[in-house]
Each structure stands twice: as structure tokens, then as C-alpha cells.
Structure 1
């Protein structure tokens, strides 16, 4: 059985690294440290130019939960149009209501905006109060796949739920395990769940090429601004080999 490996990236630098290492699809993000946010328009356009494999843009306007205001949803619809006009292959979407059930109105609007593109529903499913009802809704609306850890912190801890999801959706929607996937556990996750695709970042850091550095001034979370997140080709290649 052939297994497709999706790699999430948050820089254009990582895209050719991931596809050369064996990725079959890219999830295009910014800010992987916060779980992945929407890429800029320029980043989307350049990714479409560079990629030789399908690229799906995550549509997530902010970090945190998946309860979105009407303004958030308007932003997400605009970002879907941006991804479409950039020439990307698909989008990765998700939204929940306050009670933890899928926000059907928001998701329907996003599906409509993405007409003609591939659609993945992201890990909002893992925060959903009725995940199997959500799967039925997504299948009935033509969503291609769901990225999920099986409601657990890591995919290898959610194997039993992932297996249930695969059995429920067989032939109608693909279940793509993700979160904590590595060369060490990818084969087990695929074998025990029956999934046919898997998702990971395989990220590492490289040192900045700056020769002048002011280490006192830092942006964001206070860590060094001179450690650059990038895809590690060895992790992707090792995962490919583990799944053969």
C-alpha cells in the first residue's frame, strides 16, 4: 500500500527541501510554533510557483481556539479566495461553535468559497464535542480528508479512535493522522489505523546567516531570533523509508 506523506512548512525555504525528501503534499502555514496560521498572499504565490507537488494552504487567522467571530470568518473567506487566485491546489479549514460542535454555517461558507479546490478539515476535529457527527457532515459536503490526532495529544496515543474514524469513513473521506508523527511511529500508526496518508512537520532549526547579532533584543516568545525553523530532510526521508 502506498502512503502519502504530507509535510507542513512555515517558510518557502522548506518547500523544496520537503518535496525533494519525499513529501507528496505540502500544508502551507506560517507560525508552526502556534499550530500553523494562514500564509501571506506573497508566500502563497511563490509556493505555487516553486512547488511540483500539491500545496494546501491552512486557513487559520489567529492562534488559539476554533470559535470564530463573523469578522474572523470574513477574513478566512478572503484568504480562501487569495489561495485560489495564487494557484494553490487546496485549503485546510475548520471552525467550531461555542458548544464544541462543528460550525456548520461557517464551514459551509468556506467550502463554497473553495469550490474547485481540494479541502482538508484540520485538527479542530480534535476539539469537537461530536467528532463522528462532524465526520458525517464533512462527508456529506465533499470534504476530501480530515487531519486528526484521534482526539489525543499525539496520533500514536489516539490510534484506537483513528481506526474507528477510518472504518466509518472508508471510501468517502480520508483520515490523515497527524501530531507527534515521526519515523519511529509512522509505520505503527498506519498499520494499526488503516490510514493511507500521514502528516508531520519534520522540523528542525538552522542557525541564522547573520554575522552581526544583538542577542539582547528578541521578538515574540523571547527565544533567539537567530534560530530559523526549517524542514529536516532526514526526518522526511526516514519516514518515507519506514513506510515502505
Structure 2
């Protein structure tokens, strides 16, 4: 039985859409286009004010790999403190060493700082050459769940590995399937993997509400349309929930 439909968002507008669609938990990020980075404190505070469901904040200080320096870890610890101060319910973390193993020392320090917050280990596990060794480290450290695509590009492609992970962890750690989850494939992913939680973005865009602007200027990469606003689609989230209910 599916117990949670988690939706990842990176703006306050999307929080309302995710809740309208029926999400049961939020992963709060910035920069979803980069895989999700730590949200700013203002967004954390406003999410805490407007959320009627649990909100877990991504703790990832930069894009790229999950091999973090001492100063990166300082930032992560400070950001976890900010999550507690903002009144959110949990954090999402992932730390590896140079050999692609879970860095248990750093992970335990992050969990210690989290205190009573819930802790999800994110898709850093999908970069681990020995995923079951990684699961042992994650369980031993005290995480609630791990978000994974089963080491493949999408959760559907990784469904067989996801099932192996579910069988391996039993009730010690929840395996949450994520990456490419849609209404069209969620039932198949669940059937093949036996996961009890799924994670999606429900990505869509809306046009800018600006009436007049200088369209030749770009705020960043010229390939990115500054006047197309990425938002979560309440309809896509609701469609996934409907597909889960009808399976």
C-alpha cells in the first residue's frame, strides 16, 4: 500500500499546487533544474506557514557530486539549524566519500544536528557502486527512508533493483522511488518494485504575467526562457494519486 506521495518543489507557488493535487509530503528545494539545492530561509519560513503537510528541506550546498569539504559540511549544519528554526519537519541529505561509499561520519553529524527532525537520504545512493553496503550505513545512522531510482536513469528502469532494496531493508528503512515518476508509469513502478512511497516533481510551466519587457536580455543561459516560470502542476500530482488509487 502506498503511504506517501512526495512532491519536490522549489518555489512557494508550487507548494500550493502540490497540496491542491493531494501530495502528502513536500521536499523543499531551490534549483530543481540542478537536482535540488538548499532552499533559502525565507522560503523555509513561508513553507512552514502555509503547509498543511510535512515539509522536508533539501540540504545540499552546491551542485555536482556529494563529496563535501569541511566548509561544505559547516554550511550544511548551519542550514539544518535553519530548518529547525523555520519549523519544518525534516531534512533531506546525502554524503559520500571519494570511493562512492556513504560517509557515515558526516552523515551522523548531520543527523545529530537534525535532532528530532525526520531524515531522508537522497539519490546520492544512486552514485554508490555497492548500494546494499550503502543501505546498511544509512540504516545504521538512523535515516527514515532513502530516495532512489534503483541506480538507473528512472525509477521504472530501476524497478528490479528497487524491489531488491525493499526486500533487503524490510521495515528498517523505507525505499522511496523517484526519477521520472508520472501517472502513466507509477502503477507499473509500484507493482514491480513493491515500494510504499513515491517521489515526483509534477513539472510544468506557466507564462510570465509581465506585460512589457526587454526580451533580448537574458538573466543567465540564453537557452533558458526567463519568461516561462517552472511550477508544479496540481493536475499532474492528482493524476499520479488517481493512478495509484486505481491500480
Counting matched residue pairs gives 244
Report the secondary structure of 1:13's partner residue.
helix
Q: Distance in 1 between matches of 2:213 and 2:34?
A: 25
Q: CA deviation at 1:217?
A: 1.2
**Which deviations, in whole Å up to 9, do the C-alpha atoms of 1:105-155 show, x marking residues without a partner?**
111111111110000000000001221111111112220000000000101
Q: Distance in 1 between matches of 2:57 and 2:144?
A: 14
Deviating runs (4+, > 6 A) in structure 1?
none
Q: Distance in 1 between matches of 2:66 and 2:202?
A: 25
- The correspondence of residues 67-106 of structure 1 with structure 2, limited to 5 A, is 67-106=67-106
Q: Distance in 2 between matches of 1:20 and 1:172?
A: 31
Q: CA deviation at 1:178?
A: 0.2
Other-structure match for 2:186? 186
Q: CA deviation at 1:221?
A: 2.3
Q: Distance in 2 between matches of 1:72 and 1:131?
A: 24
Other-structure match for 2:23? 23
Q: CA deviation at 1:191?
A: 1.3
Q: CA deviation at 1:21?
A: 0.8
Other-structure match for 1:241? 242
Q: CA deviation at 1:2?
A: 3.7
Q: CA deviation at 1:219?
A: 1.7
Kept in 2, the 8 Å contact 1:215–1:224? The answer is no
Task: Confirm whether residue 46 of structure 1 aligns to residue 46 of structure 2.
Answer: yes
Q: Distance in 1 between matches of 2:219 and 2:93?
A: 28
Q: Distance in 1 between matches of 2:117 and 2:180?
A: 28
Greater mean alpha carbon deviation, residues 213-222 or residues 233-242: 213-222
Q: CA deviation at 1:46?
A: 0.5
Q: Which runs of 5+ in 1 are unaligned?
A: none
Q: Which runs of 5+ in 2 are unaligned?
A: none
**TM-score if structure 1 supplies the norm length?**
0.98
